[in-house]
A and B are shown apart, each in its own frame.
Chain A
Amino acid sequence: MPEKQCAVSLRGISKAFGKIQANHNVDLDIYRGEILALLGENGSGKTTLMNMLSGIYFPDSGTITIDGKPATISSPRDAFAYGIGMIHQHFKLINVFTAAENIVLGLQDEAGFNLDEAKTRIMSVCDAYSFEIDLDQKVYDMSVSQKQTVEIVKLLYRGTEVLILDEPTAVLTPQETDKLFAVLRNMRDSGKAIVIITHKLHEVLDISDRVSVLRKGEQIGELLTSKATAEQMTNMMVGRQVSLNIERPTPQDPRERIRVEGVTVRGSDGVVKLDNVSFSAYTGEILGIAGISGCGQKELLEAIAGLQAVEQGSIDYIEDDGTLDSLIGKDPLEIASMGIALSFVPEDRLGMGLVGSMDLADNMMLRSFRQGRSFFTDRKAPEHLAEKVIDELEVNTTSVHTPVSNLSGGNVQKVLVGREIASAPKVVLSAYAVRGLDVNSSYVIYDLLNKQKESGVAVVYVGEDLDVLLELCDRILVLCAGKVSGIVDGRNTTKNEVGLMMTNLGGAQ
Chain B
Amino acid sequence: MFDIVSFIPRAVAQGIPLLFGSTGEIITEKSGNLNLGIPGVMYVGGICGVIGSFLYERSLGNPNLINPVLGILIPLVSCLVGSLIMGLLYCFLTVTLRANQNVTGLAMTTFGVGFGNFFGGSLIKLTGAEVPSIALSATSKLFRTTLPFAHTTGPVGGIFFSYGFLAYVAIILAFVASFVLKRTRTGLHLRAVGEDPAAADAVGIDITRYKYLATCLGCMVAGLGGLYYVMDYANGVWSNDAFGDRGWLAIALVIFTIWRPNISVFASILFGGLYILYLFIPTGENLAVKEIYKMLPYVVTIIVLVFSSLRNKRENQPPESLGLPYFREDR
Expressed in whole angstroms, the Cα–Cα distance for A108 and B184 within the complex equals 12
The answer to whether A95 has its CB under 8 Å from any CB of chain B is yes
B201 touching A113 by the CB < 8 A rule? Answer: no
B205 touching A140 by the CB < 8 A rule? Answer: no
B314 touching A138 by the CB < 8 A rule? Answer: yes
Expressed in whole angstroms, the Cα–Cα distance for A207 and B201 within the complex equals 30
Residue tally, chain A, CB below 8 Å to B: 29
The answer to whether residues A105 and B184 also contact, given A95-B195, A138-B314, A140-B314 and a CB cut-off of 8 A, is: no
Of A54, A57, A113, chain B has the most CB atoms within 10 Å of the CB of A113
A105 touching B195 by the CB < 8 A rule? Answer: no
Chain A, residues 174-208, CB within 8 Å of chain B (1/0): the string is: 00000000000000000000000000000000000
Of A54, A106, A140, chain B has the most CB atoms within 10 Å of the CB of A106
The answer to whether B312 has its CB under 8 Å from any CB of chain A is yes
User: Within 8 Å CB of A79, what residues of B?
Assistant: 204
Expressed in whole angstroms, the Cα–Cα distance for A96 and B30 within the complex equals 13
The answer to whether residues A113 and B312 also contact, given A92-B203, A94-B199, A105-B200 and a CB cut-off of 8 A, is: no
The answer to whether A259 has its CB under 8 Å from any CB of chain B is no
B328 touching A94 by the CB < 8 A rule? Answer: no
The answer to whether residues A77 and B204 also contact, given A96-B315, A105-B189, A113-B184 and a CB cut-off of 8 A, is: yes
Q: From A51, which residue of chain B is reached at the shortest CB distance?
A: B329
User: Within 8 Å CB of A76, what residues of B?
Assistant: 201-204
A96 touching B203 by the CB < 8 A rule? Answer: no
Expressed in whole angstroms, the Cα–Cα distance for A75 and B192 within the complex equals 17
User: Within 8 Å CB of B202, what residues of A?
Assistant: 54, 56, 76, 86, 88, 92
The answer to whether residues A94 and B204 also contact, given A113-B184, A269-B312 and a CB cut-off of 8 A, is: no
The answer to whether B125 has its CB under 8 Å from any CB of chain A is no
B312 touching A95 by the CB < 8 A rule? Answer: no
Q: Min CB distance, B96 to chain A, in Å?
A: 16
Expressed in whole angstroms, the Cα–Cα distance for A77 and B185 within the complex equals 16
The answer to whether B41 has its CB under 8 Å from any CB of chain A is no
A96 touching B185 by the CB < 8 A rule? Answer: no
The answer to whether residues A105 and B314 also contact, given A94-B196, A97-B192 and a CB cut-off of 8 A, is: no
User: Within 8 Å CB of B328, what residues of A?
Assistant: 56
Residues facing B in A105-148 (CB within 8 A) are: 105-108, 113, 138, 140
Q: Min CB distance, A168 to chain B, in Å?
A: 16
Expressed in whole angstroms, the Cα–Cα distance for A75 and B314 within the complex equals 30
Cross-interface CB contact of B192 among A86, A88, A105, A138, cutoff 8 Å? A105
The answer to whether B198 has its CB under 8 Å from any CB of chain A is yes
Expressed in whole angstroms, the Cα–Cα distance for A140 and B196 within the complex equals 13
Expressed in whole angstroms, the Cα–Cα distance for A498 and B130 within the complex equals 90
Q: Min CB distance, A137 to chain B, in Å?
A: 13
Cross-interface CB contact of A95 among B184, B196, B203, B206, cutoff 8 Å? B196
Expressed in whole angstroms, the Cα–Cα distance for A401 and B189 within the complex equals 44
Q: From A87, which residue of chain B is reached at the shortest CB distance?
A: B202
The answer to whether residues A92 and B185 also contact, given A56-B328, A80-B204 and a CB cut-off of 8 A, is: no
Q: From A270, which residue of chain B is reached at the shortest CB distance?
A: B312
User: Within 8 Å CB of A32, what residues of B?
Assistant: none
B204 touching A93 by the CB < 8 A rule? Answer: no
User: Within 8 Å CB of B200, what residues of A?
Assistant: 94, 105-106
Q: From B331, which residue of chain A is reached at the shortest CB distance?
A: A17
User: Within 8 Å CB of A435, what residues of B?
Assistant: none
User: Within 8 Å CB of A80, what residues of B?
Assistant: 203-204
Expressed in whole angstroms, the Cα–Cα distance for A307 and B326 within the complex equals 32
User: Within 8 Å CB of B312, what residues of A?
Assistant: 269
User: Within 8 Å CB of B183, what residues of A?
Assistant: 113
Chain B, residues 97-131, CB within 8 Å of chain A (1/0): the string is: 00000000000000000000000000000000000
User: Within 8 Å CB of B201, what residues of A?
Assistant: 56, 75-76
Of A17, A57, A107, A140, chain B has the most CB atoms within 10 Å of the CB of A107
Q: Min CB distance, B176 to chain A, in Å?
A: 15
The answer to whether B188 has its CB under 8 Å from any CB of chain A is yes
The answer to whether residues A106 and B205 also contact, given A92-B198, A93-B199, A97-B192 and a CB cut-off of 8 A, is: yes
Task: Please give me the 10 A-B residue pairs with the lowest Cβ-Cβ distance, nearest first.
Answer: A106-B203, A77-B204, A92-B199, A92-B202, A113-B185, A106-B204, A76-B204, A94-B195, A106-B205, A105-B203
Q: Can you spell out 21 A-B residue pairs with CB atoms less than 8 angstroms apart?
A: A54-B202, A56-B202, A75-B204, A75-B206, A80-B203, A91-B199, A92-B196, A92-B199, A93-B196, A94-B200, A95-B320, A96-B315, A97-B195, A104-B185, A105-B188, A105-B203, A106-B205, A113-B184, A113-B185, A140-B314, A154-B203
